[in-house]
Amino acid sequence: MRFLRAATLALCIFLPLGAVETRVWEHSDSADFEKGTLRKLSLSSDGRLTPAPVLREIYDPSVSYLWAIVRDSRGNVYAGGGGVGSSKSKLIVINAAGQAKTLAELDGMAIQALALDKQGRLYAATSPDGKVYRVDAAGHAEVFYDPHSKYIWALAFSSAGDLFVATGDQGEIHRVTPAGAGSVFYRTEEAHVRSLAIDARDNLIAGTDPSGLILRISPAGEGFVLYQADKREITAVAVAADGAVYAAGTGTKTPATAPVPATISLRPTPITQGTVNLVVPTGGPARAAQASGAAPTGVPGGSEIYRIQPDGYARRIWTHSQDVVYALAFDAQGKVILGTGNRGNIYRLDSDQSYTRLLNVAAAQVTGFAAGANGTLYAVTGNIGGIFLIGQEREQSGTLDSDVLDAGSYSYWGRMTSLHAGTGAVTFETRSGNVNRAQKDWSPWAKLKGDRVASPAARFLQYRATVTGAAELYDVTAAYEMKNVAPLIEALETTPPNYKFPPPVPAAAATPASVTLPALGSPNAARPPARPVADSGVSPALTSAKGYIGARWLANDENGDILMFTIEIRGENETGWKPLRENLRERYYSWDSTAYPDGKYRVRVTASDAPSNTPEQTLTSSRVSDRFLIDNTAPEISGLTATAQGAKIEVRFHAKDALNVLAKAECSINGGDWKVVEPTTGLTDSEEHDYRFETDRGQGEITVAVRVSDAYENEAVAKTVVR
């Protein structure tokens, strides 16, 4: 069914359409739905909308951001972060009863990492000039270990109870015994060890910056690069139950010829909008200036997720051009969950080819996860800091406000249909307007009347879909039809006499219809129709043709209809229009004017949109030209005399034209070259002139010829002989 609808839609998109044909606007891909505003809905990469998991904010700690969260065996949840410009970082606790408070404030701008040992004791790492604190249940904090590094990015406990500390800007991993004695365990050749996890065999899994390395370091301290990412920074790593390693990479690498910076830039950069593609292009994530007290900011280069199988095979399984991956976790079914910025999206990877945007939070970044009871998941955010609980159950309903449909012209709305599966229901409302963004001057939201849009005719339309229960919405179509408007002839002029346009091109023979499908992998959604291409006003070159005259015109149709023209002619004292040519597709026409008596005329051009409309809906408009002349009669030459006067001959004659100004007079002696003769007035500016000139007499008989032409190139010739 969906394929058939897509095929029908392709016909609508890629075949010529008349303005009054019903067109269909369709949303069926994730890119279509993502342009709208989703509330309490999850969106899969194949374009399926379902009610989202229940998301509840359980505490607002009034800090700019939170970076880390853990949950102990007693149900206490700890979160750490900081505020912009503060010299103290904040540690929050929420007990099993849901009561929250500030447990401790530690020196340093941010708490970057938290960890719990086997006894459930809490450890917090601060940056910059990082230290590891151990904090008891009463909030008493003491320095447990000082690695003498500027940054502490991550903490992880081994099964033996040793604490591993990932640092920068020397790129070291420290091992600290339960007694607090520590030293460098592994020294990388990187500036930062940005992320850390421990697998079932007590191997460390570490992600670095700026080379984007994913390392496995054995309990004996032997390192091995599992994968070198295309991205410069591995912001998060996690180990699945089957031993597979997942890693998130962000940022564009510095060219090899350039020096590698040893510190993290603290300069904010703008976040640019982009689109989501599965394992395709990238651009836009971020390494946050996490230890600076500043909010996370974007760094160009994109985000990617890599999976390294237990046998060592690595591949990229997800990429995003805009969202920045800050945190990785696993849900109750073992699927990977991504916390991202800078739009507050939480994703679930369903397979190597598909994913779901599960949730969106108001905060800009989702920075950390911790597993809760009964398959729930805790999340912390930045910009602004908050602690959230993601439940296993789904919302009762959610809504999608679509992006605004631009029909291209004032239009009437028809049926709205949808495809959905599962139990539950999908309902629609619409609103319409004549400005390109929804605002108070649009019509109010209105429910469908049956399956038909109840909103008034307008150029723009928006729909709201409400998905309830276990329904799954994956296709929405809206039918519409432009209001037909009459074509407009914007200009009309006649052409110079004695020239003609090339003949009209015969209509092409019918060819089989064809459909051009979009490239595989590109969105199939209907696009708003392009605005009609305006008539350029350019006409073909004219060629010389005695007696011909023509007209050309500029015509446009707001609907983009195919136009047909009729051109007619009428003499000045006539009342009826006589046809020159009908069913003309060109915007020009020439005809032989010698079939018409000399005189003053006008032409009328009528444009019709009949080729694109039914007879009942066809509209026309006309335009009448300025007055023009048809003149195919030569001037009259009279009184031609040639009188000998000594060595000279004096020639006199009179010329007159009935309709036009005389253009030129010439003479020829004994068949010689024609030479211009000026009238006695000195200017050739009238329909009638006298001419007088002298020429040498010479010997013998002299033949004098004169030629006169008018502005329409009609010529008269006369001669006389002098003996």
pLDDT level of residue 275 (50, 70, 90 thresholds): very low
Task: Report the top-level CATH class of 488-504+526-630.
Answer: mainly beta
How far apart are alpha carbons 372 and 462 in whole angstroms? 39
Q: Is the pLDDT of residue 257 over 90?
A: no
pLDDT class of 697 with cuts at 50, 70, 90: confident
Q: Tell whether the model's pLDDT for residue 657 goes beyond 80.
A: yes
The CATH topology of domain 636-722 is Immunoglobulin-like (2.60.40)
Show the CA angle centred on residue 324, arms to residues 523 and 296, nearest 5°: 145
Residue whose token pair is 């309990």: 219
Neighbours of 578 (CB within 10 A): 11
Q: What percent of the chain has pLDDT over 70?
A: 87
Mean pLDDT of 306-320: 96
Distance separating alpha carbons of residues 143 and 125, to the nearest angstrom: 10
328's tokens: 């990785």
Whether residue 265 is predicted with pLDDT greater than 50 in this model: the reply is no
Q: Are the CB atoms for 80 and 68 separated by under 8 Å?
A: yes
Mean pLDDT, range 177-186, rounded to an integer = 96
Q: For position 535, what pLDDT does the model report?
A: 82
What confidence category does residue 513 fall into, taking pLDDT thresholds of 50, 70 and 90? low
Q: Which CATH number fits domain 63-255+272-394: 3.30.420.40, 1.10.3720.10, 3.90.650.10, 2.130.10.10?
A: 2.130.10.10
List pLDDT tens digits, range 395-419. 999 999 999 999 988 999 999 999 9
Fold equal for 2-40+399-482 and 488-504+526-630: no
Chain CA centroid to CA 139, Å:
52
Q: Could you tell me the pLDDT band of residue 671, with boundaries at 50, 70 and 90? A: very high
**The residue type at 437:** R
Among 230-239, 254-263, 607-616, the range with the most confident prediction by mean pLDDT is 230-239
Top-confidence residue, 385 or 86:
385
- Rounded CA separation 64/668 (Å): 101
Indicate whether 23 pLDDT > 50: yes
Confidence of residue 288 (pLDDT cuts 50, 70, 90): very low
- Look at residue 241 in the predicted model and tell me its pLDDT: 96
**CA–CA dist 126, 133 (Å, integer):** 8
pLDDT band at 41 (very low <50, low <70, confident <90, very high): very high
Domain covering 2-40+399-482 in this structure, CATH number = 2.60.120
357 confidence band (pLDDT: 50, 70, 90): very high
pLDDT value at residue 4: 35
User: For the ranges 141-145, 283-287, 549-553, 680-684, which has the lowest average pLDDT?
Assistant: 283-287
pLDDT, tens only, 452-477: 999 999 999 999 999 999 999 999 99
State residue 81's pLDDT score: 93
Distance between CA atoms of 32 and 30, rounded to whole angstroms? 5
Tell me the domain boundaries of the chain: 2-40+399-482, 63-255+272-394, 488-504+526-630, 636-722
pLDDT-derived band at 20, boundaries 50, 70, 90: low
CA nearest 94: which of 110, 80, 107? 80
Question: Using one digit for the tens of pLDDT, what is the confidence trace for 524-559?
Answer: 444 445 456 788 889 999 999 999 999 999 999 988
pLDDT-derived band at 560, boundaries 50, 70, 90? confident
Q: What is the mean pLDDT of residues 221-226?
A: 97
pLDDT tens profile 425-456: 999 999 999 999 888 889 999 999 999 999 99
